[in-house]
Amino acid sequence: MATGPTPNLFLAIDIKGEAVGGIGIHPLDDVKRRSAEIGYGISESLWGKGIMTDAVRSLVPVAFERYDIVRLQAGIFSNNPASMRVLEKCGFIREAVYRNAINKNGALLDEVMYVHFG
């Protein structure tokens, strides 16, 4: 049986037939092969309505069932406290802060790493 990279999982967030966001799992490889990253985004008009919290909460068990992982992680820009709250509501814990790890639109930001252990 041929083996290759584990496929990513990308899903649309659909409300009343309209794609309003997305969420996905990216399994890591090599020495990090028992880890995966979760990423997500939603239309700004829908922020604060609990939609992303529900999506993340629904996808966490799928990640641990579908992939041979022991940790699911998310790196959040330090200027995005709403995303940090989403992860905390879903059982993620703040693990580390990587100083000046992000350069977005000319601004240096910290990356806050959150992790869920299943």
Q: How does pLDDT run along the chain (118 residues), one tens digit per residue? A: 445 567 999 999 999 999 999 999 999 999 999 999 999 999 999 999 999 999 999 999 999 999 999 999 999 999 999 999 999 999 999 999 999 999 999 999 999 999 999 8
In whole angstroms, give the CA distance from residue 99 to residue 110: 5
Question: Cα–Cα distance between 31 and 93 in angstroms, integer?
Answer: 22
* The model's pTM: 0.90
Helix (H) or strand (E) segment spanning residue 46: none
pLDDT of residue 118: 87
Residue 86, number of CB atoms within 10 A of its CB: 24
Which residue ranges form the domains of the chain, and what is each CATH number? 9-116 (3.40.630.30)
Quote the pLDDT of residue 1.
Answer: 44
Tokens 């580390």 locate to: 96
